[in-house]
Amino acid sequence: MHSHEPRFRVQSWTAPVAQVRALRRRLFFLCGAAALLLMPAALNQGRASAQQTPSVPEPAAQASVPAPQESQPATPPAVAPNFPSRPAQAESTSEDTLRRQFEGKDLFLRGSYLDNTLTFNEHGVLIGHSPQGSYTLCGIRINKVRVLKHKVELIGARYGLHFMSALPTDDPSKSVDRVNITPRKKEVRITIDREYVVKPKQHRGKEKAAPPAAKPASAPTATSATAPAATPTAAATAPNSAPSAPPNTLPSPASSSAPSTEPTDAEELQAEIAKAPEAERPADAKSVTTTTSPAHANSLLEEALGNVFAQGFDARMMAAMPHFWKLYYEAIAAQADYQPKDPTVLRQNMVDKKARLKVTFEPASNDFAQAFGVAGMSEYHVVVGADGKPSEIAVARPIGFGLDESAVDAIRKATFEPAIKDGKPVPVLLNMVFEFRIYSKRTAVESKPEPEPAPEAPSLPGPYSVQH
């Protein structure tokens, strides 16, 4: 009994295993048979679909060929307006920015140019020549800004600065009158050339390459239509015609080299300037440069505007001022009286003999002051050297309207007797006060018409009038 039980148990476990293996084999055979049975049907369906697909794409291909032809000419116009539209947007925004920045604002004209019609290149450098004067005659108020394709026009009026402080202790910078000195029916016109924005060459190449691409699209269809009609002899001659193909391919490089015959940026610029109206052309067309970046053109314009105008007494404007004006504004900034740089300079009350003028003089006025009735007192600090010549001059109490420059010029031409201390000439600081007046000739000319009829009235002799 013990010997038969293990055999019976082994057989009971091995029997199901054999059955599972047999079932697996049957399933594999059945799957393989099913696959073999389905293969012909799949092949027939594939052949049928393959036979149907050529007929479907043929009309689709014919319909798709004109579709690119319609889309390709459509793309160049889409690119062309979009590309110029970017500079147009940049111009519009820059024009709005310039209007907000300049219109109605009180500025100063750098360089102190006195002409009312000024032109500058794209870097803000004056084109031509203009007389220069005092910064007190170069206040500018912009009334209108025009941004054109080749230049920017700023139209406004010129203002003069009249300092009206009555006492030396007053701060003249806080009591300044801005007087419009532009003649009637006149205006100040300032133009600044602009850098020209051109279209990048790659975009120009795409636009010109797109239309030729539409023409070869029909050419391959013609060749493909004749290809099946070609006989074997034609196919045999095809290798002989192969050498003739390179000459046909050579014009394509020629066509690719065609863009080299396109006008350069400089030629395009000159053509655009020639087409522009005379009033919109740049003042100096030869100095105008080109760029493909509207942002660069706008930044260059902003730099030029900064070189032409100053919105206040910035560092650049102070550096360009004459030395006597620098000393004046340095004293105001320090809120202290002027002190000579040379510590050996003495005061008039510290010497034995004071310095004095050898010949008195009166500074000349100018047409602006006479035309607008600017008169008054002005004061200047003058350092008279041991040689009797003025060495350093500083404005103490200005009057403006260019009269301070006249006073300083007159002081520089004057000669003094030097101050004496301990029997030796020494440098000394003295103050000089001048009074500017309106010329008496103007009042004399205005009073002439009144006495004209008086001398012509008595035409009869005296006795006759007495008898009467």
- Is the pLDDT reported for residue 45 higher than 90? no
Domain boundary among 245, 279, 306: 306
Name the pLDDT band for 403 (thresholds 50, 70, 90): very high
Whether 270 and 359 share a structural domain:
no
Domain boundary among 282, 306, 330: 306
Q: Is residue 152 part of a domain?
A: yes
137 φ/ψ angles, rounded to the nearest 5 degrees: -110, 10
Name the pLDDT band for 21 (thresholds 50, 70, 90): confident
Q: Is residue 400 part of a domain?
A: yes
- The CATH number of whichever domain residue 341 belongs to comes to 3.30.2420.10
Predicted confidence at residue 392, as pLDDT, reads: 95
Whether 271 and 375 share a structural domain:
no
More confident residue, 13 or 343: 343
Whether 172 and 301 share a structural domain:
yes
Predicted confidence at residue 468, as pLDDT, reads: 39
pLDDT digits (tens, 9 = 90+) for 200-210: 866 555 555 55
Domain boundary among 252, 277, 306: 306
Q: Is residue 334 part of a domain?
A: yes
Rounded mean pLDDT of the chain? 74
Average pLDDT over residues 365-379: 94
Average pLDDT over residues 3-23: 55
Alpha helices in 195-284 (DSSP H): 201-229, 232-241, 245-249, 251-256, 265-275
The beta-strand segments (E) located in 124-208 are 139-147, 151-163, 176-180, 188-193, 196-197
Distances (CA, A) of 388 to 145, 415, 416, 430: 53, 6, 5, 12
Distance CA 94, CA 82 (A): 18
Contact 273, 150 (CB under 8 A): yes
Average pLDDT over residues 413-437: 95
Q: Is residue 192 part of a domain?
A: yes
Q: Is residue 276 part of a domain?
A: yes
Torsion angle of alpha carbons 234, 236, 239, 243, nearest 10°? Answer: -50
Radius of gyration of the chain from its Cα atoms, rounded to whole angstroms: 48
Whether 294 and 394 share a structural domain:
no
- Is the pLDDT reported for residue 222 higher than 70? no
Average pLDDT over residues 398-420: 96
Contact 378, 405 (CB under 8 A): no
Is 146 exposed, middle or buried, given 0-12, 13-18 or 19+ CB atoms closer than 10 A?
middle
pLDDT digits (tens, 9 = 90+) for 260-292: 567 787 777 788 888 878 788 888 888 888 888
Name the pLDDT band for 62 (thresholds 50, 70, 90): very low
Q: Is residue 62 part of a domain?
A: no
Contact 136, 400 (CB under 8 A): yes
Whether 281 and 410 share a structural domain:
no
Domain count, the chain: 2
pLDDT digits (tens, 9 = 90+) for 142-155: 999 999 988 999 99
Name the pLDDT band for 388 (thresholds 50, 70, 90): very high
Number of neighbouring beta carbons within 10 Å of residue 211: 12
Whether 420 and 274 share a structural domain:
no
Distance CA 36, CA 367 (A): 115
Contact 404, 323 (CB under 8 A): no
Whether 302 and 420 share a structural domain:
no
Q: Is residue 253 part of a domain?
A: no
361: amino acid identity, one letter: F
Q: Is residue 44 part of a domain?
A: no
pLDDT digits (tens, 9 = 90+) for 309-364: 998 888 999 999 999 999 999 998 888 889 998 999 999 999 999 999 999 999 99
Predicted confidence at residue 44, as pLDDT, reads: 63
Alpha helices in 293-439 (DSSP H): 294-308, 315-320, 323-334, 367-371, 403-413
Whether 273 and 338 share a structural domain:
no
* Range of weakest confidence among 2-16, 43-57, 97-111: 2-16
Which candidate, 187, 189, 161, 194, places its Cα nearest to that of 175? 161
pLDDT digits (tens, 9 = 90+) for 79-121: 333 333 333 444 444 678 899 999 999 999 999 999 999 999 9
Whether 288 and 404 share a structural domain:
no
Whether 301 and 328 share a structural domain:
no
17 φ/ψ angles, rounded to the nearest 5 degrees: -65, -45
Distance CA 104, CA 143 (A): 6
More confident residue, 125 or 25: 125
- Structural domain range at position 368: 322-447
Average pLDDT over residues 37-42: 65
Whether 113 and 190 share a structural domain:
yes
Whether 280 and 160 share a structural domain:
yes
